[in-house]
């Protein structure tokens, strides 16, 4: 079974690519959604987050993602601490789901892992069949983030944090330009998916 990593900076359109692939019968693991599921399912993780970041990051026994994001995107050390708590658990979860998907490869066209975090896991990224890097100009990305309800200051801060993440070296890349319409994006994604067929 072919496996694809979908990465790109915040606001580039990674999730839109994932939706297009899902519509074509692919299993798509959205790393943000998988992380949110971990927050909900793992009491141990919630306890560690509360111990490190304070009770303001836990509300009614659940992770307050807004408060946590506000904190970690302001303090690089806090972001590193959160990553060290979450990433090992998240990676294990994703790898287990991909193994299960391989057992059902006859039912799936491909599997994709979508999220900016692929930049942080070079060895995992390099194990995928291809990495699709979704790109859009900064002005387009900023506009998309503002439409999501982020303040301009918060959006720019998040964009700046991600600006430092390099691409893993030993991987096969395809670049997906996404500054046009959703139809343009769909056409490009379907072309790449067709080329990837075994």
What local confidence, expressed as pLDDT, does residue 120 receive?
Answer: 83
What local confidence, expressed as pLDDT, does residue 51 receive?
Answer: 96
| Neighbouring-strand partners of residue 198 | none
Q: How confident is the model at residue 163 (pLDDT cuts 50, 70, 90)?
A: low
11 is in an annotated binding site: yes
Q: Which two tokens stand for residue 198?
A: 């075994």
In angstroms, the CA 67 to CA 163 distance is 22
67 is in an annotated binding site: no
15 is in an annotated binding site: yes
Tell which residue, 96, 69, 98, has the closest CA to residue 83.
69
14 is in an annotated binding site: yes
In angstroms, the CA 82 to CA 68 distance is 9
What local confidence, expressed as pLDDT, does residue 198 receive?
Answer: 64
| Per-chain mean pLDDT for the chain | 90
In angstroms, the CA 51 to CA 93 distance is 23
The answer on pLDDT for 162 being more than 90 is no
Q: What is the mean pLDDT of residues 120-146?
A: 92
Structural domains in the chain? 1-30+90-194 (3.40.50.300)
Q: How confident is the model at residue 107 (pLDDT cuts 50, 70, 90)?
A: confident
The answer on pLDDT for 4 being more than 90 is yes
The answer on pLDDT for 103 being more than 90 is no
What local confidence, expressed as pLDDT, does residue 159 receive?
Answer: 86
Q: What is the mean pLDDT of residues 63-76?
A: 90
Question: What secondary structure, in 3-state letters, does 64-97 show?
Answer: CHHHHHHHHCCCHHHHHHHHHHHHHHHHHHHHHH
In angstroms, the CA 7 to CA 158 distance is 15
pTM: 0.84
The answer on pLDDT for 70 being more than 70 is yes
């Amino acid at each position: 079974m072919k496996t694809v990593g979908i990465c790109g900076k915040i606001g580039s359109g990674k999730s839109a690519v994932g939706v297009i692939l899902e519509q074509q019968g692919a299993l798509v693991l959205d790393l943000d959604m998988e992380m949110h599921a971990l927050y909900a399912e793992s009491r141990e993780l919630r306890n560690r987050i509360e111990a490190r970041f304070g009770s303001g990051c836990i509300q009614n026994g659940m992770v307050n993602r807004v408060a946590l994001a506000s904190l970690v995107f302001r303090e690089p050390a806090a972001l590193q601490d959160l990553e060290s708590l979450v990433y090992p658990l998240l990676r294990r979860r994703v790898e287990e789901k991909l193994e299960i998907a391989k057992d059902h490869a006859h039912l799936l066209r491909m599997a994709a892992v979508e999220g900016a975090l692929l930049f942080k896991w070079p060895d995992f990224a390099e194990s995928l069949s291809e990495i699709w890097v979704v790109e859009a100009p900064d002005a387009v990305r900023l506009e998309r983030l503002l439409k999501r309800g982020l303040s301009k200051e918060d959006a720019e801060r998040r964009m700046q944090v991600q600006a430092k993440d390099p691409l893993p070296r030993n991987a096969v890349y395809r670049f997906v330009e996404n500054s046009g319409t959703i139809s343009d994006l769909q056409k490009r994604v379907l072309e790449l998916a067709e080329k990837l067929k075994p």
